[in-house]
Amino acid sequence: MSKEIEVRLYQPGEEKDIVGLLRIAFDTYRKLKNPLEYWKWKFQDTPLGSTVKVAMVDNRIIGVGHGLLFNVKIGEGIILGNNNVDFTTHPDYRGMGVYSRIFEIGPKFREEQGAEFSYTISSNPIIINRRNVKVDHTVFPKIVSYMARIRDVETHLRNRPVTNTYLKKRLTTNPNLVGLGFKSLEAMNKLRKIVKSGKGPQNDFSIEEVQKFDPRIDAFWGRVKDSCSFILEKDHRFLNWRYCDPRSGEFQILQAAHGGDVLGYLVLQTSYDGGYAESRVMDMLALPNRFDVAAALMRWACAAVDDRGVNVMYYEVVRGHPYQNIAQRCDFVNTRSGPYIRCVFPDDTYNVVSESTPDKIQFNYGDSL
């Protein structure tokens, strides 16, 4: 098949065709009740905008690639970044270089919009092994770990068969996991009572569930950002778009505060794929050195998950970060797997991230869409 392929920015009116293509490629879009509204939330109503590139043959969209714009703090400065997401080619046109054409034109559009940093996340082995791409990408300099907390291992293995032999052995032999169920629930309830009653190592904050991030979170962000060498901007505009718009899904937001000050927050999402409930800690952040706040938030989230009878809970964190230790104390185990992240860093910022200690690097499930 020899037809000329045109790659350009999408034009208004093409939204339904793009979503139709995404539904062919991605299970996520097929399961949504209103995939078009989800797409509009994700790419039209994002705080800083997006780029949507389409590949055309005979006036038909046969490929698409998206880029979400966001602010990211790297080193001492905040710059505009880009997250490459939702790339696909129609099955009839695969093997013709459509994906490469869309991907390689990305830097041109990013430069026009002023985006200096870019990253792409994938767990696809084909993409992972394509390290010698024409675009100048590098692997994210820190390892990001998937953590898992499972109450009943046998139930989990029946619903989500594990092919990772290390993880399977870890799950079936770890004494902290086998038979965890009731004991964990009882322990978490006790821990939650401690948090609620104000008893504990530090008695200067309370935790409550909120429906939206108010402007106080901007002051919190101002106190957090200087302690980080890499973190997406977490102001109220971004957080409310990401977690508080009904089109984005259902999230539970826990916020720790003292007086009028926010000390930290945690965002939890629970999904029911195939009738099996799974929860994810999408985002967790506390003030510098307030690990007591982060620990209380994680304990509270674990108790909430247990109360709902959810069997498994996931968390994504930079390996060696203090939050990883907090997760392990809440019975999470390191699965020894994680996302593959390819990046384009401006100037010497790669070295800034590479040479930073893990506690200065923040990366969560919620930082990718």
pLDDT band at 249 (very low <50, low <70, confident <90, very high): very high
Beta pairing partners, 69: 82
Range of the domain at 186: 144-337+356-367
pLDDT score at 180: 43
Q: What is the pLDDT of residues 170-203, one digit of tens each?
A: 666 665 554 444 344 455 455 545 444 444 445 5
Select from 9, 139, 121 the least CA-distant residue to 65.
9
Structure-model confidence comparison of residues 164 and 57, the more confident one: 57
Are 41 and 68 found together in one domain?
yes
Are 129 and 75 found together in one domain?
yes
| 254 DSSP assignment | E
Alpha-carbon span 209 to 267, nearest angstrom: 10
Pairing of strands 77-89, 117-122: parallel
Are 176 and 106 found together in one domain?
no
Query: Given 104, 136, 168, which residue is the final one in a domain?
Result: 136
Q: What is the pLDDT of residues 23-48, one digit of tens each?
A: 999 999 999 999 999 999 999 999 99
CATH number at residue 125: 3.40.630.30
Provide the percentage of residues in the chain whose pLDDT is more than 90: 72
Q: What is the pTM of this model?
A: 0.88
pLDDT at 163 over 80: no
Question: Is 348 part of a structural domain of the chain?
Answer: no
Are 255 and 327 found together in one domain?
yes
Question: Is 350 part of a structural domain of the chain?
Answer: no
pLDDT at 111 over 60: yes
pLDDT at 115 over 80: yes
Are 25 and 160 found together in one domain?
no
Beta pairing partners, 276: 273
Residue 240: Cβ within 10 Å count: 18
Select from 71, 55, 73 the least CA-distant residue to 114.
71
User: For the chain, how big is the Rg over CA atoms in Å?
Assistant: 21
Are 214 and 306 found together in one domain?
yes
Task: State the sign of the Cα–Cα–Cα–Cα dihedral 352, 72, 327, 197.
Answer: positive
Alpha-carbon span 39 to 79, nearest angstrom: 25
Are 170 and 296 found together in one domain?
yes
Alpha-carbon span 2 to 223, nearest angstrom: 57
Query: Given 136, 168, 190, which residue is the final one in a domain?
Result: 136
Are 304 and 331 found together in one domain?
yes
Structure tokens given for 147: 């953590």
Question: Is 347 part of a structural domain of the chain?
Answer: no
Are 206 and 325 found together in one domain?
yes
- The total number of structural domains in the chain stands at 2
Are 243 and 197 found together in one domain?
yes
Alpha-carbon span 29 to 22, nearest angstrom: 6
pLDDT score at 264: 98
Q: What is the pLDDT of residues 54-88, one digit of tens each?
A: 999 999 999 999 999 999 999 999 999 999 999 99
Q: CA neighbours within 13 Å on the CB side: how many for 49?
A: 9
pLDDT at 131 over 80: no
Amino acid at 105: I
Question: Across all residues in the chain, what is the average pLDDT?
Answer: 88
Query: Given 76, 108, 136, which residue is the final one in a domain?
Result: 136
Are 151 and 112 found together in one domain?
no
Secondary structure string (H, E, C) spanning 198-209: CCCCCCCCEEEE
Are 50 and 104 found together in one domain?
yes
